[in-house]
Amino acid sequence: MNSRERVLAAINHREPDRVPIDLGGTRQSGIAASTYHQLKLRLGISSPTRVYDVYQMLAEVERPVMERFGADVIGLNRPAVAFGITNTDWKPWRLFDGTPVEVPGGFNPVTEANGDLALVQDGRVIARMPKDGYYFDRLEVYPGGSHTPVEEVNPPVLSDELCDHYGAAAEALYNNTDYAIIAPLGPPYELFYGLGTGGFETWMMALASEPDYVNALCAKLVDVWLENLRRFSQAVGDHVQILQFNDDFGTQDAPFLSPRMFRELIMPHYKRGLDWVHANTQMKVFLHSDGAISPLLPSLIEMGVDILDPVQTSARGMDARKLKDEFGEQLVFWGGSLDCQKTLPFGSPDEVAQEVREHVRVFAPGGGYVFASVHNIQANVPPENVIAMFDAV
């Protein structure tokens, strides 16, 4: 099989010729620029390391690296991946640890008195990276976190220019590569976690005490999402196989909200959008949600989720065998490689490989599995562990 055929088989619950692999296909299965730079040195690759996501400081994974590790997935991203900064006019820069990288020309953080880096837009600090840190923290306050009146919320509609970009890029990737193509296009704000950014306690109180406000806000966002989905699908046609949306429903030990609250306040709105995707396109729906979300999985399946990422098996209730046995016929598991908090950064290469093999033996039979890191490969992960992870699968 080629890469696209391999991924399509897996996400349609057929066992492919080998387990499909994702390295850098999404902003949740990528690799920190500093780790990527060290990895390339180990592989004898001397090209500049580009930071295509300056929010998370993620490297653009290049074709030679994708080919070395058997990657089968490529992302269709907007030109301005993070903070509205367009990925053009690349210039040299250095991370705090001295790693040489290239960043977009519009990325111009301000160094504050204590050494922190701040991103300033319209006179406001919208994000900050602590001195010697590895990525930015968002400081913007989103509608639910600020309890913005629904009538004052004006979510963005995809522009004609952006739709033209998506159409041309999707066609080029489809015709000139055999990778499976995944595109992120969720609601203008994540309907749960994202809406509370910058004021999560305020948003959680609204969920608990103001269901009319929550429902009205989510309904308005989904109205715009539906328009964006229509415009996007018209632009890309059948060139994109997987549609991604993100929301974080889980902590390490439990969901943020009860299944009942999820079903009453969040699920109906997401379902309205996902029903449209399934009725009007051939794309499979991919949800990225970290944490201990097993109590929500039946609802997520009913909501229309086809693929679950990153399958954080180290979280409570997310045991690989349990997930495969209970939900393997209904969900595709994307990730689930090994413990990204302990084994990958701190284990030996042999320990990494052993845990990967154990998880692949559970998830791979019968299809329904795409191998990827559990969220992004972080800074300070030894390159030999990255190599061991992908070589094992």
Tokens 């994109």 — which residue?
A: 240
Cα–Cα dist 32/37, whole Å: 9
- For 368, the 3-state DSSP assignment is coil
- For 343, the 3-state DSSP assignment is helix
Packing angle between helix 160-176 and helix 211-236, nearest 10 degrees? 50
Query: Residues 230-267: pLDDT tens digits?
Result: 999 999 999 999 999 999 999 999 999 999 999 999 99
- At 276 the pLDDT is 98
Task: At 200, list the tokens.
Answer: 């999560």
- At 373 the pLDDT is 97
- At 72 the pLDDT is 98
Task: At 369, list the tokens.
Answer: 């599995």
- At 325 the pLDDT is 98
- For 8, the 3-state DSSP assignment is helix
Contact 195, 143 (CB under 8 A): yes
Tokens 């299965």 — which residue?
A: 29
Which residues neighbour 357 within 8 Å (Cβ) at sequence distance 6 or greater?
A: 392
Contact 71, 23 (CB under 8 A): yes
Strand-pairing partners, residue 287, are 245, 308
Is pTM beyond 0.75? Reply is yes
Query: Residues 113-143: pLDDT tens digits?
Result: 999 999 999 999 999 999 999 999 999 999 9
How large a percentage of the chain has pLDDT more than 90? Answer: 99
pLDDT block averages, 10 residues each, the chain of length 393: 98 98 98 98 96 98 98 97 96 97 97 97 95 95 95 96 98 98 97 94 96 98 98 98 97 96 98 98 97 98 98 96 97 97 97 98 98 97 98 97
Q: What is the CA radius of gyration of the chain?
A: 20
Average predicted confidence (pLDDT) for the chain = 97
Contact 92, 100 (CB under 8 A): yes
- At 351 the pLDDT is 98
- At 161 the pLDDT is 97
Structure letter (DSSP) for residue 378: P
367-384: b (≥16 Cβ within 10 Å) or e: bbbbbbbbbbbbbebbbe
In the chain, where the domains are located: 3-30+140-392
> CA dist 292 to 28, 244, 296, 319, Å?
17, 20, 9, 10
> Which CATH code for domain 3-30+140-392?
3.20.20.210
Phi, psi angles (nearest 5°) of residue 181? -110, 130
